[in-house]
């Protein structure tokens, strides 16, 4: 019997960081509440939804 197979950790799904990084305002760094396109609540910068 070997222990080669590692079961997936149910507590960590390794979500893609890009899904929230694109919400970060390029001007002030604030994290938007919703997915872009949206305007930054802090400085009014438009966060593009180009990806």
Nearer Cβ to Zn ion, position 21 or 27? 27
Question: Whole-number minimum distance, CB 43 to Zn ion, in Å?
Answer: 3
Q: 14-43: which residues touch Zn ion (CB under 5 A)?
A: 25, 27-28, 30, 40, 42-43
Distance of CA 20 to the CA centre of its chain: 2
* DSSP reduced 3-state for 1: coil
For 13, 20, 36, the CA distances from 45, given in Å and listed in that order, are 31, 16, 11
User: Does 45 engage in binding with Zn ion (CB under 5 A)?
Assistant: yes
Binding interface with Zn ion (CB under 5 A):
25, 27-28, 30, 40, 42-43, 45
């Amino acid at each position: 019997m070997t222990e080669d197979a590692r079961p997936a950790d149910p507590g960590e799904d390794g979500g893609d960081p890009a899904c929230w990084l694109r919400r970060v305002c390029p001007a002030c760094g604030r994290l938007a509440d919703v997915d872009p396109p949206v305007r930054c609540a802090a400085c009014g910068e438009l966060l593009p939804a180009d990806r």
